[in-house]
Amino acid sequence: MVRPYAVMALMLFCNAASGQDNPERILQGAIVLHQAGEAERAIPQYRAYLKLRPDAVDARSNLGVALASTGRYRQAIAEYREALKRRPRDPRIRLNLALAHYKLGQISDAAAELSALHHEQPADRQVVLLLADCWLRRGEDRKVIDLLAQVEKQDQSDLAIAYLLGTALLRDKQIDHAQQMIDRILRNGDSAEARLLLGTAKLEALDFEAAIADLAKAAELNPRLPDVHSYLGRAHIQTGDTAAARLAFQKELELNPNDFESNLQLSALLKQDQEYDGARKLLDRALRVRPGELRAEFQLASVNLTAGKLDEARAGLEAIVRKAPQFVEAHISLATAYYRLGRKADGDREKALSQKLTMEQRARQYQEKIE
């Protein structure tokens, strides 16, 4: 989190006047507490000051920082937004706003703020990295590649860029280009980042045991590396080791509660083990990170269906097939829901539709294979 209050504090000390009700003295007290790590106690002081000086942008921004540091991101966002109304082009406040959204798992909102910042300050490496990370989390791999390809050409020493770009390239199946990024990281010695990329590449190549070895090594080298436990979990799923997968996803979520894939994948494992409430909580969070994401919406409906919440499942699945009429598995699950609700005619209709879509899908795949 960017901490802009230090500079302002110095300025305020110079202007501080004496007296308990003196606004500047209140602010001074708030800042002292804040700097001493007493954010909880600083917050009422900031609020008291802002009652008297509602237009004080820096103080409001400081309040946002204090709120964020105590986990009250929604309140922090409100303060940052208020501050930005008065100083819309302040990059520090916008960056803090983006970070608060990011922490809340509102990745789309974070990306929007970071995009605006990037537009204003295209050379700011921190913004570039954060924006790329947000897009990666949203699965917008192509945007990451477009964003970082130029930066990477100009600066081949930045391993963070190589890492993010390599990840996006792997996901986009641009294996050769991704391999260049992996090699670049490896040239700097064995690192968690390199192992993560290697493991991811092996996962893509369906070499699951080898992927697990690399990913486990990456986790050993840097247990706090974003995504490392998530990918390890995904590799374990492929070998059927759901217990190990659960542990891995749980570790990822301890570090990064808003990791979309970990929330989604762990929810599927919980569903399999009939822990439906836990699965729903994870999916709620996944959908906060990626609102409207079809896989998460489908998984939620699927959890409801399996748990016997048939009406909720039906409503969810009906919404999904409206949004994505070609989603075969959703039609299949909707047919199941209808049958279990005793709506045989509707079930038959959905079943027939799913069969028709499957045939069309297979015909397309066959045609693509021939071509």
Partner 1 sequence: MKRALVASAAGICAVWFLALAPARPAQPARRPGFVDVAPRSKISYTSNNSFVGRKFFPQPMCGGIAVFDFDNDGRMDIFFTNGARLPDLKKTDPSYFNCLLRQKSDGTFEDVTARAGLTGDHLDFNFGVAVGDYDNDGYGDLFLCSIGKNALYHNNGNGTFTDVTAASGIGGKPANTLSIAAAWFDYDNDGLLDLVVSNYTLWSPKTDARCMMNDRDYYCDPRRYPSVPHQLHRNLGKGKFVDVTAKSGFAAAPGKGMGVSIADFNDDGWMDVFIANDTEPNSLFMNQKNGTFEEKGLGLGVAYNENGQVGSSMGSDAKDFNNDGKVDIFYNNLMGQIWQLLRNRGDLFEYYSSLSRMQKLSMPYSGWSNGFIDYNNDGWKDIYSSNGDVDMMSAKSPQHDTLFENVDGKSFVDVSGEMGGDFLRKGYQRGSAFCDLNNDGALDIVVTSLNERPRILMNAASAGNHWLMLSLVGHKSARDAIGAKVKLTTASGRVLYNHVAVSVGFMSSSDKRVHFGLGAETKINSVEIRWPSGIRQTLKSLAVDQLLMVDEPEK
Q: Which residues bind partner 1 (CB under 8 A)?
A: 238-243, 268-269, 271-274, 302, 306, 328-330, 332-333, 335-336, 339-340, 347, 351, 362, 366
Tokens of 218: 């990456």
d(CA 168, CA 140): 8
Separation of first and last alpha carbons in the chain? 52
Least spacing, CB of residue 292 vs partner 1, in Å: 20
Q: Which residues of 101-123 are buried (b: 16+ CB within 10 A; e: fewer)?
A: bbbbbbbbbbbebbbbbbeeeee
DSSP label at residue 91: H
The full length of the chain comes to 371
How far, in Å, CA of 54 to CA of 150, rounded? 43
| Helix residue spans in 70-187 (DSSP H) | 73-86, 91-103, 107-120, 125-137, 141-154, 159-171, 175-187
Quote the least distance from Cβ 268 to partner 1, whole Å: 8
CB of 63 to partner 1, least distance (A): 46
Which CB, 101 or 271, lies closer to partner 1? 271
Q: Which residue lies nearer to partner 1 by CB, 240 or 292?
A: 240
Q: Which is nearer to partner 1, 107 or 211 (CB)?
A: 211
- Give the pair of three-digit tokens for residue 260: 């979309």
Identity of the residue, 271 or 290, whose beta carbon is nearer to partner 1 in the bound complex: 271
CB of 249 to partner 1, least distance (A): 14
Which tokens go with 245?
A: 């997968």
Choose between 220 and 348: whose C-beta lies nearer to partner 1.
348
Instruction: Report the residue number, 135 or 338, with the smaller CB distance to partner 1.
Output: 338
Q: Give counts: helices (H), strands (E), the chain.
A: 21, 0
Least CB distance to partner 1 at residue 355 (A) = 8
Q: How far is the CB of 340 from partner 1 (least distance, A)?
A: 6
The DSSP element (H or E) to which 3 belongs, if any, is: none
User: In this structure, are residues 126 and 113 in contact, taking their beta carbons and an 8 Å threshold?
Assistant: no
Q: How far is the CB of 316 from partner 1 (least distance, A)?
A: 13
Nearer to partner 1, 156 or 239 (CB): 239
Q: Which is nearer to partner 1, 62 or 299 (CB)?
A: 299
Q: What letter represents residue 179's amino acid?
A: Q
Report CA torsion sign: 303, 305, 309, 311. positive
Q: CB 208 → partner 1: shortest distance, Å?
A: 9
Identify which of 230, 238, 166 has the alpha carbon closest to the alpha carbon of residue 201: 166
